[in-house]
Each structure stands twice: as structure tokens, then as C-alpha cells.
Amino acid sequence: MKPDPHNCRHEYEQELNEMADFKNKVEIEGVFVKAETAKALLCVIDGKEHWIPQSQIDDDSEVWQKDDEGTLIISEWIATEKGLI
């Protein structure tokens, strides 16, 4: 029996949401949002591009959409996953 790709994606998204409890936040200054999708932002951080899932961005973040610039506040988990800390 083949795994259902839709179910796998749902499980992955559920895992991301569980990781984003924001007990531990990371603030990254000088971030520019180059592009956005319904699920993620393409952020330029220290000259490198990183896709950041919207579910991992804290409500207090200054950047939320394309062309925003400022401080990005994300979960420590995604910052670690992306090699940002």
C-alpha cells in the first residue's frame, strides 16, 4: 500500500505547528522579505535566502509579507533547523 502524500504533508504541517510553541524565540534584525507564498516567506538574512514557514513566525515579528524589512521573530526550533543560530 502506497503512503498517501496528502496525509504525509498534513502530518508534517501538524509537526511544524507543534514545534512553534514560541517558548523560546529568536530575533533576527535586518531581514528583508524577497517573496511570499501562502505558507512561507523568502527572507534574506545576512545575504542568504531562507524560506521561513509562516507558522514559525511570531505575532510580534516586524516582517510578514513581501518587501517588509525589519526584525524577524521566529521559533528557536526553525532558527536551529535553518542554521540561523
pLDDT value at residue 10: 60
Give residue-wise pLDDT tens across range 29-39. 999 999 999 99
**Is 53's pLDDT higher than 50?**
yes
Domain coordinates in residue numbering, the chain:
5-81
Give the max Cα distance, the chain.
Answer: 48
Cell of 7: 496525509
**Residue located via cell numbers 534574506:** 44
Give residue-wise pLDDT tens across range 10-36. 666 656 555 556 789 999 999 999 999
What DSSP assignment string belongs to 16-46? Answer: HHHH---SSEEEEEEEEEEEE-SSEEEEEET
